[in-house]
Structures are given as structure tokens and as C-alpha cells.
Structure 1
Amino acid sequence: MEKIMVEKSPKLKGRVKINGAKNAALPLLAASLLGTEDIILEDVPKLKDVEIMCEVLSSLGAKVEYLDRNVIKINSADIHKYETSYELMSKMRASFLVMGPLLTRLGKTKNSLPGGCAIGTRPIDLHLKGFRALGATIDVDHGNISAYADRLVGDRIYLDFPSVGATENIMMAAVMAEGETIIDNAAMEPEITDLSNFLNKLGADIRGAGTSTIRIKGVKKLGGARHLIIPDRIEAGTFMVAAAITGGDIIIENVISNHIKPIIAKLKEAGCRVYENGDSIRVIGTEKLNAIDVKTLPYPGFPTDMQAQFMALMTLCEGTSVAVETVFENRFMHVDELKRMGADIKIDGRSAIIQGVKNLTGAPVKASDLRAGAALVLAGLVAEGVTEIDNIYHIDRGYDGIEEKFANLGAKIWRQEF
């Protein structure tokens, strides 16, 4: 069993390059099931979740090959299997994204209910609502979901909530449906736009991605393409907070600043200096952090995937900060772990009230989910003594080489077997 150990570190300084986005890579890999020629994805992060998705594709008959550490070639010309195993589906929620491509490509699909981080209820009803609107018949039996259709026909679909996963799954199902599909109240995340750009390279006809209304005209067949995945805005945000919490000076390379406007704004509110320069951002910390308030919202609001990291920062802000979580109802599991390190946090429903403390203390803690794990690493950088983080498989699901990147900035961090 491995743990990540973090010792109080000096102010972090230097440069760090951000990988391709995990939350873009997974739907792009799922979408590769739609192509009938070679697909090459570049800047794919080396993550456990990516590994699992590649296993899913292989299990369905796709040929998956690493051309380089971060370059994957997929050929789905001969896929014929439409059922994914419970073992693979239970490991990761994003594996459910193969349902849309299989439904439109093969006319049928069977999946078990998806797994993933336990951060709250994330029902798949909106995915199924979209499939039904396109003409699919859905059967749910003992934890398995089957969908089948002789043909899919475009329709107008309104999402009750701008779900990222549902938007992606419906988009992929609609690309080869007859006629036009319109998704209203669609998610607007950059990862949706990246998926749309990729599908259009394959031969799809999608317009409006990045807005709340997406229009998809069905085509007969999709081919192949080469595609560079967008930078990971959450990984970028995590290193931006690292500069702030340690009072450091970090240049974060390979970023799209438009994707992280709320993070930039909140760090400036906290008293940090942030400089944007093309595809890089420089964050310079401050000796005295101002209290800030954040409220998570769907994009372009403050991302729920940055709430835990900002809460680690808030524990050291002077005064009282408030974090309001509106996206997932169970995303404060990191609070008890931060309190073990000396944080002063009170929970009131979906709000966390954080009273800044002078310092944190290293302690044995557990990563309850992916972003909670990142928050504990950040807290460990400034905590007196050593912080011992368990359940680090969560962290490995979303950060490619997190210890190496932090160590290169001067952090005292290492992985240790127990």
C-alpha cells in the first residue's frame, strides 16, 4: 500500500506544465467508438481513469495502442460487442459515456450502473431521458441498463439540469441519428466544446457547443482524425492554489486562461498577483491572505472540482471565509480531514464556514475523493511536520505525476510504501 507524504515546504517556485484534461480525455476516448478509421489523441494524461477507459474500449473490440506516453491510437472499425462488464463499469463513472456511442453505432448497448467518486447523487436519468427522446427503448433490471433502437431519430431535448455527462452522451448518440437534434439547457463546459470539435473532425455536424443550445445534424458515418486534448483547467487551478497557499511564485504553462476566470478572480480577491501571458499564467502569493467566499456553479461559474482545494487555502485566510456547494450534496468529506490538521470549519447544510487559523499541523489523513486528495496535498505543503495521505488511488485518478511536479517546484513530497 502506498501513501503520499508531504512535509512543510518552502515557498514553491518555478514552472509546471499542465497535462491534457482528464474530463476531456474520457469522453473523447468514448467518442472514438464512433470512428471507422484510425483516431490519434495527443496529450492524453497518464491516469488510472484513462487506463480503465482504454480497457473498456478494448473489451468492446476496439484496438487501442500507445504510440507514446501521452499519445493513443484507437481503431474502432470492427467493434461488435455492445456490453461492458460490471467490473470495469464499477470502477469509474465516466465509463457510462460509451452508452451513447454504442447505441447509435450498433443499435443496442448494455451497461451496469456506473461507479466513481462518492461525492453525492449523480443520477443518470437525464442520459436516459435523452436516449428515449431519440427513440431508444430503455430497460433497467437488477442494476443493468439496456438500450436499443432500430434507428435513432433527432428530437428537441431539454435538460432539467445542465449535466456535463448527459450533454456528452446525448451528443454522441445524436451524431448519427436521422434529422436534427437540439439540446436545450446543455452544459457549457470547455470539455463539451472539445468533444464537439473532435466529433466534427470525424465528420459530425455539431454547432453551438459552449452555449446552452447545441444543434446536431445526423450523418451516416464518422471517420478518423488526429486531435490535441485541451489543457486540464482543474490541474492548472490546483497549482495556482499551491502558489497562493505557500506564498510562492509559479508559472503554470499550457493553460487557457478563459477556462479558469473564476479561479483567477478568487485568487486576486485573496490578495495574490496573477499575470496572464498567452498560454501561461503566473501566480505570486502573498504573506497575508484575505478571506474569500466561493459558490460552486455549472460553468462558467466557480467549478465544484476546485472547491476542496480552495477550502485548504481558506483555512489560512485571515478572517471568515464561506464555501457554498450547489452542485454535489456530499462534497464536504474533506472537511473532517482538514480539521484533523487543525482547520476551524463548521458545516451548515450546503455551506462551510471557515475561520482562518495561524497554522496547520501534519497528521495522518485520507483522500475521500479525487479533489479532496489534492486539497490535502496543498494543506500538507504548509502544515507543520509531516502529513501522511492514505487512499491515494483517488489522487492518481486525476493527477499525472503529482509528486514529481510538486517536487520540481521545491515541495517536500514523496510516495512511500507501507
Structure 2
Amino acid sequence: MDKIRITGGKPLQGTISIQGSKNSALPMMAASLLHRGVSVLKGCPAIADVYCMEDILRSLGALTWWEKNTLYLDCSRADGTEVSGDSTGKMRSSVILLGALLARNKKGSMGYPGGCVIGKRPVDQHLYVLRCLGAWVEEKENSLEAEAGCLKGAEIVFGKISVGATEQGILAAVLAEGHTVLRNCAREPEIVWLCRYLRSMGAEIQGEGTHCIRITGVKELKAGNMQIPPDRIVAGTYLCAAAATRGKITISNPPEGELDAFLEVYGKMGGQYNRRSGKLIADGSGTAFPVPFLETDTYPGFPTDLQSPLMAVLTTIPGKSRIRENIFENRFRIAKELNKMGASVAVSGREASIQGGTCLRGCTVRARELRGGAALLVAALAAQGETVIEGCSFIYRGYEHICEDLASLGAQIEEDTGTAFL
């Protein structure tokens, strides 16, 4: 099931519910290792990355099972310390398990983390924070190895804001001796949700959502039990799809306060929206204005994960738009595929210029990473004729039932199995 066929040109209409957040679920799964018992994640997205993390936890000795979208994690006997390179090579965020393994089992080794090829994404800050907490860490050509008889609190200043390194420090510090202060932390919602989850388990954490997080280590944590929040990137992707097709959609469970930077840009393009009774009602029929300049940034700035879907929207709007990518240097790989469809996107270094308003035409294109694949879906929905998207395994890493969701909004879309959702 590695192809999706879309016949575009039809405005999306209807109401949609957003799946649980991938970027929140994965660190919560890692955090569940810190309790020697059963933790529960409700509304967990059934996506490839979650299955990959589940397989890794099982390889460490955990028992896992699902009841609909509730994931149970029994880490009573998760005493393994080695994670194979086959597993870590599939998913970049697997690296955060190193801090959890050190906190729980005093040592850990893993293959070098992989995932989407969208930039260098070095692990130096991950290793830095673990070393500051007292761990011995060795970086080999194809693996990472770490050991710590006793992690101890420290004051740590990250040289660069990093979501993953912030999560790494939090996971390692909650069971460390004494006090830890993490400075220049990422402020993304998934950091906040991870801290809330750990606090519900008995961790002593303050300051999440700011650049300074303070942690007092505790001796043990109790079971975790939390509802995964709706995925802000999935919500933004569906808003882009509606804008590109000039449609009107309602999101029944929008992520509260997490889409502000995106909605500001959406409004500048001519999209209208309002919140009513806990729902987000978005009208993209007036989307007609280019974006002279936009740059991605760490939260609360414009999210890099929505840059590619937004680019797809901008190809449909007459006029010139310009995007600067400040997070991942290879995020513009999607430009070549959009140009195959008739778009006019020129890339120079970290900037892309989009001359919008040309008629997108269906053709065969290939997804090469997660968010770029979602952007191709957005473009295909706006294009005339049929588009075949290959490499859709990337899309399924982050979107639980994207074909069914879009079909429920009126899209003509069909997966490789031949089962049409019309």
C-alpha cells in the first residue's frame, strides 16, 4: 500500500476529528519506561512511528496491547538495554530512549537514529545533556553507547534550541539525584505534554512552556495515564487541504492555542476562521493572497512541519510568495515534485520563491519524507486530473487515516489496495 490516487479540483467540505499527536505520543511512550508497571495512553495514534516505538519497547521487555485507540504499556520487565540499528534507523525520535534507559537501567546502547532525510539533525546536544548529568557516552560510527551508575542533577544550557534534546534532558533528569535546571529549552507543545504526563506520574517539574525547566529528581514514578492531545500538524495539514481546494471545513477537536502562528498566515492568505463551542470553523473559499515572506521558527513561531503543506497552498495563489526555512536545510525537496505538477518553485539555499497561480496538473510524483508527502496530497487535491503519489509509507508515519479523513470531506481518493473512499 505505497501509492495513493487522487482526482483533484473539488472543494473539501465537512467536519473532521483530529487524531492524537504523534510528537506527544512518542516521548510519552519513552517516559513509560520509567515506571515498572502498566501505563495507559488514550487516543494514541495508530501510525507507523508509534508502531515502531512499540516494537522497540517490546524488544526491551515491555508488554504492549491496544484496546481501540488506547495503548497499554506494561514495563514491569523492560530491563533490556540494547536497541537495534534496524529499529532506530527508521525513526529519529528513538534517540530519546537513551535518557530513559539510563534513568531506569543505568545503561543503554542503540543504533544511530534515522528517519526522514530533511537535514543533518545532529545528536551532539543529546549526548551533551546526558554527559552533564553524569553519564559516560560514546558515539561510534553506527551506534551510541551510554552508562551511568547514578545520574546527578546539574545546570545545563543548550547551545541551540532543540525539541529532542530538551526531551532527552527531561527523561534523564526526573529520576536523577538532586536538582536539574535546563536552560534554552524548546517550548513546543509536545514538551509541555511530556512534562504533564511525567508530573501525573509523580515527577517534580516546573517551567515547561518556557525556556527554563526545573526538575527535582524523585526515587520512583507511578503509572502514567493520559489522553493524547490532538495533533496540531495534522490539523494544519487539513486546513491547508481545505485552503488549496477553496473549501470549508470544521475541526471538531482543534488543538487549543497550538495553531496560532499557522492561523495568522492562513488569515493573511484570505482564509477566515472562528471558534465556536470548542470547534474550529475554517472557510478557505477566499484564499487569494500570496505571502510575501514567511520564515519557520521554533515554537511559537511558524512550524517547519507545516512549511511544505503551506507551500502547496501557495502554488495555487496568484502572485509571488517567499519562504525561508530556518530549521531543516533539506525541507525544500518537495519543490521538484510540485514543479512536475506545473508549479513554479525556485529554491536558493534556505529560501524558496513560489510564483503561484499556475494550474496544477495531475501526474505521478513521489513522497520522500513525511511532511513533503502530505504536501503532495494537498497539491493533488487542488490539481486538475489524476495524481498518483508514490512512496506513501512516509505519509503513514504520521497520519493515521488520512485517506478516510479526506474522503469524508469529499475528496476523490483511493489507496493502492484498490479500495476507494468516495
Distance 1:207 1:242, change over 3 A: same
2:388 — aligned with what? 388
2:89 — aligned with what? 90
2:350 — aligned with what? 350
- The 8 Å contact of residues 373 and 395 in structure 2, kept in 1 or not, is answered as yes
Structure 1 stretches lacking a partner, 5+ long: none
- The 8 Å contact of residues 257 and 276 in structure 1, kept in 2 or not, is answered as no
Percent identical pairs in the alignment equals 41
Query: Structure 1 counterpart of 2:172, which letter?
Result: A
1:154 — aligned with what? 153
Query: Structure 2 counterpart of 1:405, which letter?
Result: D
1:114 — aligned with what? 113
Could you report, residue by residue, the CA deviation over 1:286-320 in whole angstroms, capped at 9, with x for unpaired residues? 35510013210000000000000000011011210
Secondary structure, counterpart of 2:394 in structure 1: helix
Aligned residues: 417
Q: CA RMSD in A?
A: 1.1
Separation in structure 2 between the aligned mates of residue 149 and residue 269 of structure 1, nearest angstrom: 51
1:45 — aligned with what? 45
- The 8 Å contact of residues 131 and 173 in structure 1, kept in 2 or not, is answered as yes
Q: Shift of residue 142 of structure 1?
A: 3.2
Matched, 1:329 2:329: yes
Distance 1:288 1:280, change over 3 A: closer
Matched, 1:305 2:275: no
Secondary structure, counterpart of 1:393 in structure 2: coil
Could you report, residue by residue, the CA deviation over 1:251-299 in whole angstroms, capped at 9, with x for unpaired residues? 0121124100011111110001111225321110135510013210000
Query: Structure 2 counterpart of 1:255, which letter?
Result: P
TM norm structure 1: 0.98
Separation in structure 1 between the aligned mates of residue 411 and residue 191 of structure 2, nearest angstrom: 34
- The 8 Å contact of residues 32 and 74 in structure 1, kept in 2 or not, is answered as yes
Secondary structure, counterpart of 1:72 in structure 2: strand
Secondary structure, counterpart of 2:5 in structure 1: strand
Q: How does 1:179-194 map to 2 (within 5 A)?
A: 179-194=178-193
Separation in structure 1 between the aligned mates of residue 80 and residue 354 of structure 2, nearest angstrom: 50
Could you report, residue by residue, the CA deviation over 1:216-238 in whole angstroms, capped at 9, with x for unpaired residues? 10000011031001110000001
Separation in structure 2 between the aligned mates of residue 75 and residue 129 of structure 1, nearest angstrom: 30
1:136 — aligned with what? 135
Structure 2 stretches lacking a partner, 5+ long: none
- The 8 Å contact of residues 342 and 358 in structure 2, kept in 1 or not, is answered as no
Q: Shift of residue 98 of structure 1?
A: 1.0
Could you report, residue by residue, the CA deviation over 1:339-397 in whole angstroms, capped at 9, with x for unpaired residues? 00000111121110001123100010000110001110010011111010000000000
2:15 — aligned with what? 15
- The 8 Å contact of residues 96 and 114 in structure 1, kept in 2 or not, is answered as yes
Query: Structure 1 counterpart of 2:371, which letter?
Result: R
Secondary structure, counterpart of 1:31 in structure 2: helix
TM norm structure 2: 0.97
Separation in structure 1 between the aligned mates of residue 159 and residue 191 of structure 2, nearest angstrom: 17
1:127 — aligned with what? 126
Separation in structure 1 between the aligned mates of residue 338 and residue 256 of structure 2, nearest angstrom: 29
2:176 — aligned with what? 177
Q: Shift of residue 338 of structure 1?
A: 0.2
Separation in structure 1 between the aligned mates of residue 228 and residue 56 of structure 2, nearest angstrom: 20
Secondary structure, counterpart of 1:165 in structure 2: helix
